[in-house]
Amino acid sequence: MAGFDKVLIANRGEIALRILRACKELGIATVAVHSTADADAMHVRLADESVCIGPPPARDSYLNIPALLAACEITGADAVHPGYGFLSENARFAEILEEHDLVFIGPKPEHIRVMGDKIAAKQTAKRLGIPVVPGSEGGITDDVEAMLVAREIGFPVLVKAAAGGGGRGMKVARTEDDLVEALQTARSEAKAAFGDDAVYLEKYLGRPRHIEVQVLGDGEGAAIHLGERDCSLQRRHQKVWEEAPSPALNAEEREQIGETVAAAMRELKYRGVGTIEFLYEDGRFYFIEMNTRIQVEHPVTEMVTGIDLVNEQIRIAGGARLAIAQEDVIFRGHSIECRVNAEHPETFRPSPGRIAYYHVPGGLGVRVDSAAYQGYSIPPNYDSLIGKLIVHGRNRTECLMRLRRALDEFVVDGVETTLPLFRRLVRNPAIQDGDYDIHWLEKMLAETP
């Protein structure tokens, strides 16, 4: 195995620290990069070397490809880990690194590209035998054609922007009369947001859960699945609370969807970690997208499998084969992650500023992935995630009890955080029963803010 001597971490915050930890355990030297706003960040303090790559706006620093290439050159790094967000799903960035004899720790550029295009991704998933939402074969340009497709799949239908992202450019049409208007609005929103007015149609699912499957492949045709995560608790399409396993699936469903996805990844010769996202309703799975990167919520999978996903990512990128066979993946207990944001717990307004006091919970089965510390000033320039509280228990009940006490131990003073929201959620009967869909949290917040 080739392996690496030095990895440049092209990210910030908790994920930069997460990658740094994996590198240290592998005996690989680390290079942190940072904007001027992040000079005091924890990932900069803990890395072996650091390079300032630009001013606070992400487009001038964390998205600045020439500055990242220069940082690799100066430090002699031989690989780049992109984390999540920023350049992690930029196929061109992956190619540029390859052209400079640097390794992109991630999938093959062609797989990033195909999964980044919603219509191509859906067609690819379908070809690989992954169940998809019934809908139009591809983009739809003509209103008459749209009407025919909608009648065939049945109302309500969802009009989606081909170039969509973050839930934008989506419109529900409940009746035939709604459809013409929905098409028009979706097209103009898509044009304004993405400069591309292509749309497609899907059956609208009324009360689905969001269930996603974690995969790991070596790029040569070996691939396994590491079970699912249930990320149904969302606000404005942003995940808030994630758990593994899903309280909604039985063992047979779990094995079946896992095997379907793993077989698809073997056929694709997928490399590295990836997540296939589904909506799940009435016992059926419907593919919505594939994320070709490590995800924020990956720790819940690590807790129930004992497998370090970032370590595997780095080893595979370094040319190693898969060290784990499917039968070696054993699921133990239950894990829940809460995304603690520096935001007002009711209005969700960002709350940057100085953390005056910081105390993280501990004890058996408690993990905190965070780059925050006492005295740290959260800059206003980036997302508001300050840490993830991840708890593991032998079963879901133990996990919930442990989460409740860990949340009570967690203290962050000086800024507002979403911790009070989680203290409410963990005590809610519907959450305790695992009885929630993707609309549950927004409804709850609208009723009792």
213 binds ligand ADP, rule: CB under 6 A: no
DSSP label of 158: E
Query: Min. distance of Cβ 164 from ligand ADP in angstroms?
Result: 4
Q: Is 293 a catalytic residue?
A: yes
Applying CB under 6 A, among 19, 224, 265, 438 the residue interacting with ligand ADP is 438
Give me the phi and psi of 174, to 5 degrees please. -85, -30
Closest CA to 29 of 236, 363, 374, 314: 314
CA distance 292 to 314: 14
Query: Min. distance of Cβ 391 from ligand ADP in angstroms?
Result: 24
Question: DSSP string of 48-98?
Answer: SEEEEEESSSGGGTTT-HHHHHHHHHHHT--EEE--SSTTTT-HHHHHHHH
CA distance 404 to 361: 11
Nearest residue (CB) to ligand ADP, 38 versus 202: 202
Dihedral through CA 84, CA 87, CA 91, CA 94, nearest 10? -100
Applying CB under 6 A, among 7, 77, 128, 133 the residue interacting with ligand ADP is 133
Site size for ligand ADP (CB under 6 A): 17
166 binds ligand ADP, rule: CB under 6 A: yes
Restricting to residues 263-302, name those near ligand ADP by CB under 6 A: 279, 288-289
Whether the Cβ atoms of residue 299 and residue 387 lie closer than 8 Å to each other: no
Applying CB under 6 A, among 81, 210, 298, 367 the residue interacting with ligand ADP is 210
Segment contacting ligand ADP by CB under 6 A, of 20-28, 47-55, 122-130, 164-172 = 164-172
154 binds ligand ADP, rule: CB under 6 A: no
Query: Min. distance of Cβ 178 from ligand ADP in angstroms?
Result: 15
205 binds ligand ADP, rule: CB under 6 A: yes
* Neighbour tally for 251: CB within 10 Å: 9
Omega cis (within 30) before 245: yes
Applying CB under 6 A, among 38, 197, 202, 302 the residue interacting with ligand ADP is 202
Tell me the chain's radius of gyration from C-alpha atoms.
22
Which of 113, 209, 266, 293 is an active site residue? 293
Query: Min. distance of Cβ 237 from ligand ADP in angstroms?
Result: 5
Applying CB under 6 A, among 165, 221, 306, 375 the residue interacting with ligand ADP is 165
Residue 403, sorted as left (phi over 0), alpha (psi -120 to 50) or beta, turns out to be alpha
Find tokens 């780059």 and name the residue. Answer: 371
* Neighbour tally for 207: CB within 10 Å: 13
Query: Min. distance of Cβ 194 from ligand ADP in angstroms?
Result: 10
158 binds ligand ADP, rule: CB under 6 A: yes
Catalytic sites, residue numbers: 293
Residues that bind ligand ADP (CB under 6 A): 133, 158, 164-168, 202-205, 210, 237, 279, 288-289, 438
